[in-house]
Amino acid sequence: MKTYIITHISILTVLLAACVNQPKQQSTTKDTTQTISATPVVLEQVFADSTYQLTGVAVSADGRLFTNYPYWLDKHSYSVVEVKEGKPVPYPDAAWNSFKKGDDGAHKFVCVQAVVADEKGYLWVVDAAGIGLGPVYQHSNKVVKINLATNKVERIYHFPDSVTASDSYINDIRVDNANGFAYMTSSSNGGIVVLNTNTGQSRFVLHNSPSVLSDTTYHFTMDGRELTKTDGSIPKINSDGIALSPDKAWLYYKPLTDNRLYRINTVLLRDFSIPAQKMNNSVEDLGKFITTDGMEFDKNGNLYLGDLERSSIVKITPDLKMHTLATDTVKLSWPDSYSISADGYLYISASQIARMPWFNNNQHRTVYPYKIFKLKL
């Protein structure tokens, strides 16, 4: 399974502009699976939780740190916390974090997948409401917008069944306040949820596009073996990682369990009248890179990803070259989500998903605690 403003068009947009009129899903011929080793950077631990599995990380413009805990396993308590003096404090309050099975989930967090802090002073919380990655609990999947100045919920966005069906697991989110839209991936059935944050209207797009579906021929390898469920099946996780270019002109996304990266012009996403086929034909396949969960742009158009198979943090520069910034098989066990702070640090959550019982014959191989790190960019 994740605070950037810029007023000019990104360098990456210019370099890739020639791709706009290519036929459907035409890939660049460049295979970028080889990375350039950069000067190693130091991973500094900023938070640890000895009990609960975390996934998301968000740093506000004034340096406040947030994380979330999905309701995947039986051991679960709060869903969203602010880290204060190294301790998790339920956020925005205890009531929102009080959900128990059987409760009404409309005004409580059920299974939170991601937290993102924007440049306007809001925290956006993606509640997939899929306990244990199962069906949506009582139609309670939602996006919650919290005012960081008042620590109060300002708006709750719900979705019709035509946008998020019972099998939808909305995953990560990116927010474009300038145009009034937010974009989310659906990692279960593949697709992009487009939300008009002003009107509350939403649309599900690219569901039939190969770009949102994991390549069935790709062998996603962790710890020297292909990731396999306890029942012997091979998990294929669809559209997951998502990033918005600094100029908000392009949405980048990819399936988790293969190495291709795609993008689409957000002008198309914001026009709800555009037919599905035209949308599908407008996707650009940027080529082969790495498998990653989350990803994040900085203000200069560099894209940061976590190489899950090699326990690394990678930067893709505007010229589409990959640079390995850090590799650590202990600390970077499933680097999950990212946030860039105002003082130039990349924050990274490590969720250890490959060590869960689901993929290890019901044995928990987690090395406690779960941690969040930062590295200087």
Over the stretch 88-126, which tens digit does the pLDDT of each residue have?
999 999 999 999 999 999 999 999 999 999 999 999 999
- Residue 254 scores a pLDDT above 60: yes
Length of the chain: 377
DSSP state of 279: H
What is the pLDDT averaged over residues 280-286?
Answer: 97
| CA–CA distances in Å: residue 371 to residues 61, 234, 237, 312, 352 | 21, 27, 23, 15, 9
Domains and their CATH numbers in the chain: 11-371 (2.120.10.30)
Q: Which residues touch 162 (CB under 8 Å, ≥6 apart)?
A: 204
DSSP state of 212: G
Give this prediction's pTM: 0.90
**What pLDDT, on the 0 to 100 scale, is given for residue 31?**
57
**What pLDDT, on the 0 to 100 scale, is given for residue 224?**
87
Q: Which residues touch 152 (CB under 8 Å, ≥6 apart)?
A: 92, 146
- Residue 147 scores a pLDDT above 70: yes
- Residue 3 scores a pLDDT above 70: no
Cα radius of gyration rounded to whole Å, the chain:
19
What is the pLDDT averaged over residues 271-282?
Answer: 96
Residue 247's SS3 state is coil
185-240 residue pLDDT tens: 999 999 999 999 999 999 999 998 999 999 999 999 998 899 999 999 999 999 99
Residue 73 CA to its chain's centroid (Å): 20
**What pLDDT, on the 0 to 100 scale, is given for residue 22?**
37
**What pLDDT, on the 0 to 100 scale, is given for residue 32?**
54
**What pLDDT, on the 0 to 100 scale, is given for residue 49?**
98
Q: Is the peptide bond before 255 cis (omega within 30 degrees of 0)?
A: no
**What pLDDT, on the 0 to 100 scale, is given for residue 284?**
97
What is the pLDDT averaged over residues 305-331?
Answer: 96
Q: Strands across the sheet with 122-127, in order? A: 112-117, 122-127, 142-147, 152-157
Cα three-residue angle 54-292-267, rounded to 5 degrees:
105
Q: Which residue has the tokens 């979330």?
A: 68
**Cα gap 130→216, rounded to integer Å:** 24
DSSP state of 298: -
What is the pLDDT averaged over residues 257-285?
Answer: 97
| CA–CA distances in Å: residue 36 to residues 255, 323, 377 | 23, 5, 16
**What pLDDT, on the 0 to 100 scale, is given for residue 223?**
85
Q: Which of 277, 252, 292, 293 is nearest to 19 (CA)?
A: 252
The mean pLDDT of the chain is 91
**Cα gap 330→67, rounded to integer Å:** 20
230-252 residue pLDDT tens: 999 999 999 999 999 999 999 99
**What pLDDT, on the 0 to 100 scale, is given for residue 35?**
63
60-98 residue pLDDT tens: 999 999 999 999 999 999 999 999 999 999 999 999 999
12-61 residue pLDDT tens: 333 333 333 333 344 443 455 556 766 668 999 999 999 999 999 999 99
- Residue 154 scores a pLDDT above 50: yes
